[in-house]
Amino acid sequence: MQLKDIARILEAEVLTCEDKLNCTVEAACGCDLISDMLAFTKEKMIVLTGLVSPQIIRAAEMVDLSGVVFVRGKRPTPDIIELSEELGIPIMCTHYPLYESAGLLFAAGLPGWRHWPRAVGGSEDAP
């Protein structure tokens, strides 16, 4: 699935890196803890979060995520937007809550980390 598809499905406003909307996303993870983000995400994934902090962008850079979607109508501050642009990490905002955002993307065919073989503890380790 491409970032532009995610933006459409979530009725999301794209705040940065519109030139990367054709990038492919292979899976998604919803979390509000940076420790979970670091533990359960890999490259070519997006994170859905309500945690609006520069640390989310820094962690996304470390993991090489395809993007960040802020949920529940949360909006990043100008310093977060600036950091995202500087690092080339697309960010979006949606009015949907985390649970619904994840459900909409899953229903559209974007798997979660458990169902993605390259993820930590991927499908071969799933209960």
Q: Is residue 25 part of a domain?
A: yes
pLDDT tier for residue 127 given thresholds of 50, 70 and 90: very low
For residue 52, the domain's CATH number is 3.40.1390.20
State residue 119's pLDDT score.
Answer: 46
Residues 6+ apart with CB under 8 A from 64: 42, 43, 44
Q: Is residue 38 part of a domain?
A: yes
Is the pLDDT at 77 greater than 60, yes or no?
yes
Q: Is residue 115 part of a domain?
A: no
Domain that holds residue 41: 3-109
Determine what percent of the chain is predicted with pLDDT higher than 90: 73
Question: Of 20, 11, 40, whose CA–CA distance to 87 is shortest?
Answer: 20
pLDDT tier for residue 35 given thresholds of 50, 70 and 90: confident
Answer whether 48's CB lies under 8 Å from 30's CB. Answer: yes
- Enter the pTM of the model: 0.87
Q: Is residue 126 part of a domain?
A: no
Q: Is residue 73 part of a domain?
A: yes
Count structural domains, the chain: 1
Q: Is residue 93 part of a domain?
A: yes
Q: Is 39 helix (H, G, I), strand (E, B) or coil?
A: helix
State residue 125's pLDDT score.
Answer: 45
Q: Is residue 116 part of a domain?
A: no
- pLDDT top residue among 37 and 9: 9
Q: Is residue 64 part of a domain?
A: yes
11 alpha-carbon distance from chain centroid: 14
Region 94-108: mean pLDDT is: 96
